[in-house]
Amino acid sequence: MSAAPTNPCVSIRVMASRRQVRQATIQFLYARSASPDDQGGDDFWALVNDQASITFDRARVKVLAHFQQGREAVVQKLQKALVDHAAAILALGSRGKVSRELKAMAAAEFLWAERCGNLLRLTRANTGGWRRDLEKLLPEIDQLRATRATLAENLSEFPALPLAQFSDLFTKLDTYDQRARFVRFPEKYPDQRDLDHLHRLQGEMAGLAEEARELAEKVEADYEELDTTIDAASANFDLKRLARVDLAILRLATWEILKRPDLDAAVSITEAVDLARSFSGEESAAFVNGVLDHIAKA
């Protein structure tokens, strides 16, 4: 099986709650029974960690807003410089091509800074779509930076003072871009203390995936024994007719009853019934309760 997603920023695995681990394990067992070749990739664990992922993205927006404070002011200075030196820029040749490209670049910079500021307001208002906006906004930094780099080369014929002014503004925007990259890829910057909260949240998600995968592997290794035990306690109910998620719940709880004598069987049964109720409804919860009670008393 492929390795669980890990976070190089976290040297100590962050422990998830027992219920979180059991719920994730059931989802993993269900997914693998439905599609045996599914190894539980990043998309799967993103779904399992959905609520944690939302919390993580909210934190990313806050850090991004903090890192980008002052960017709009730099963009405004850039726009002013374009006005102040419009004649010199137009004289660069190429029939005004450089001038048009500079104006387009400044407009793109302004729009990005504006969208970044709006993003924080959208998350506070819990307006739908903000996560999609975040995922679109962060990659655009690379294009902005590439555009500035190209324009910097074209400004080589600029008079010394204006060139120094534009170079200074470009450098400041480069710094803001790098901070945005911190937020886009926090795992690549383990030493950035301003990212500690993001590192911790990533560690929690990675820890849950690792624990759930480890538990699922133990349960899968004993499927034959578990299914025999469940079948005997099911009053001749055909397990093939059982919903896969209910079977996953029964397998996990039965494994705990048989293989973990240190755990209270009553607790395992109660948690399994709660999960069956959550995943499938009252009828499944009653069925799971009856089967596991029979197994525990055998």
Q: Which pLDDT tens digit goes with each residue over 61-77? A: 999 999 999 999 999 99
User: How many angstroms separate the Cα of 248 from the Cα of each of 153, 225, 242, 266?
Assistant: 61, 14, 10, 18
pLDDT of 126: 78
Q: Any residues with CB less than 8 A from the CB of 159 and at least 6 apart, and which? A: 88
- Average pLDDT for 31-56: 71
Q: Which pLDDT tens digit goes with each residue over 190-206? A: 999 999 999 998 888 88
Q: pLDDT exceeding 90 applies to what percent of the chain?
A: 52
pLDDT of 129: 87
Split at pLDDT 50, 70, 90, the class of 5 is very low
Split at pLDDT 50, 70, 90, the class of 30 is confident
**254 in Cβ contact with 226 (< 8 Å):** yes
In which region does residue 2 sit, left (phi positive, over 0), alpha (psi from -120 to 50) or beta (all else)? beta
pLDDT of 103: 92
Rounded to the nearest 10 degrees, the angle between the axes of helix 50-67 and helix 130-137 is 50
**Which has the minimum average pLDDT: 38-47, 71-80, 282-291?**
38-47
Split at pLDDT 50, 70, 90, the class of 161 is low
Q: Which pLDDT tens digit goes with each residue over 92-142? A: 766 678 888 899 999 999 999 999 999 988 988 877 789 899 999 999 999
Q: Which domains does the chain have, with CATH numbers?
A: 18-48+197-297 (1.10.940.10), 53-184 (no CATH)
pLDDT of 112: 96
pLDDT of 252: 95
pLDDT for residue 6 is more than 50 = no
Whole-number average pLDDT of the chain: 86
pLDDT for residue 14 is more than 60 = no
pLDDT for residue 158 is more than 80 = no
Residue 217 token pair = 């592997």
Split at pLDDT 50, 70, 90, the class of 40 is low
Instruction: Read off φ and ψ for residue 9, nearest 5 degrees.
Output: -80, -15
